[in-house]
Amino acid sequence: MGPNFDNRIPQQLADGTVRLTPIGDTFNPTPRAFFRGPGFWNTDFSIFKNFQFSEKLKARFAADFFNVFNHPVDAAPNSTTGLQDLSIQTNDPRIIQFSLRFEW
């Protein structure tokens, strides 16, 4: 963007001078550029309890929660139009897994 294709656009100042101002790295319309997508975060959680029935017999119950807050992650914007399709999620929904382990 800009007359020299260097991501600087001319801005006319109050005194009449023209200065090339960088547009930053948030939007770059050149074909080899990329768009900054939405932020991504995910939280997993695990809780467990150990049980001892005798000296040699033990059990462990665990509950694992993947994407515990069920936080959606939006897809990146289209590199041609810059539009974002909010009907698409790129992560899995909340998954809960239970396990029981015996040791003897």
pLDDT band, residue 25 (cuts 50/70/90):
low
Give the count of beta carbons closer than 10 Å to the beta carbon of residue 90: 12
| Domain spans, the chain | 1-33, 38-103
Q: How far apart are CA 86 and CA 79, in angstroms?
A: 15
Tokens at 79, concatenated:
């590199």
DSSP letter at 82 equals -
How does pLDDT run across 43-93, given as a tens digit for each residue? Answer: 999 999 999 999 999 999 999 999 999 888 888 777 778 788 888 888 888
DSSP per position, 22-45: E--SS---STT------------E
Are the CB atoms for 77 and 43 separated by under 8 Å?
no
